[in-house]
């Protein structure tokens, strides 16, 4: 999720990229580990027992998106020219729901209806915050382009 917040800002202000290099190396390592785990774990709702089928299922689903979003950044040492590819990590936005629903399970252990209602409300707020963040980043980028044109 950190990627979804820092990538638009780095695209808007590329001069901040060197100061975030350690953070980006840690994120790159986390995404590589994520790709590795997805090759060997079963996704929710799937009934696959054979490990080869788990691997092939991941390769056919989101592996290409994960690879395009992660590997060019690693191979180019976070080059400014291809950094926008990291925005493809937005396809993993559903991972942000897991902590919210885990919290709801703790807060409402005996009420599944309340758990779902409050959980969905918080998820919608989460999505709204990310959308506003992306809109503001594009707005700032357009403002910088306008000021540079003067």
Tokens of 7: 């990538």
Q: How many angstroms separate the CA atoms of 95 and 107, rounded?
A: 20
Question: What is the per-residue pLDDT for 121?
Answer: 92
- Give me the mean pLDDT over the 118-122 stretch: 90
Q: How far apart are CA 36 and CA 137, in angstroms?
A: 31
Cα–Cα distance for residue pair 64/35, rounded to 1 Å: 10
**For residues 20-34, average pLDDT:** 84
C-alpha to C-alpha distances, 142 to 71, 135, 137, nearest whole angstrom: 28, 11, 9
Q: Which pLDDT band, with edges at 50, 70 and 90, does 43 fall under?
A: low
* Mean per-residue pLDDT over the chain, rounded: 80
Q: Is the pTM of this model over 0.75?
A: no
Whether residue 8 is predicted with pLDDT greater than 80 in this model: the reply is no
- Summarised one tens digit per residue, pLDDT across range 50-101 is 778 778 888 888 888 888 888 888 888 878 778 788 888 777 777 777 788 8
């Amino acid at each position: 999720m950190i990627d979804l917040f820092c990538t638009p800002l780095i695209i808007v202000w590329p001069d901040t990229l060197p100061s975030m290099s350690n953070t980006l190396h840690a994120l790159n390592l986390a995404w590589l580990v994520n790709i590795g785990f997805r090759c060997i774990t079963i996704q929710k709702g799937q009934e696959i027992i054979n490990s080869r089928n788990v691997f092939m299922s991941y390769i056919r689903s989101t592996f290409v998106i994960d690879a395009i979003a992660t590997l060019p950044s690693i191979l180019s040492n976070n080059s400014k020219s291809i950094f926008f590819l990291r925005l493809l990590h937005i396809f993993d936005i559903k991972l942000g729901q897991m902590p919210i629903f885990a919290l709801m399970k703790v807060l409402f252990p005996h009420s599944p209806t309340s758990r779902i209602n409050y959980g969905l409300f918080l998820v919608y707020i989460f999505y709204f915050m990310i959308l506003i963040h992306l809109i503001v980043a594009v707005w700032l980028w357009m403002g910088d382009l306008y000021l540079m044109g003067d």
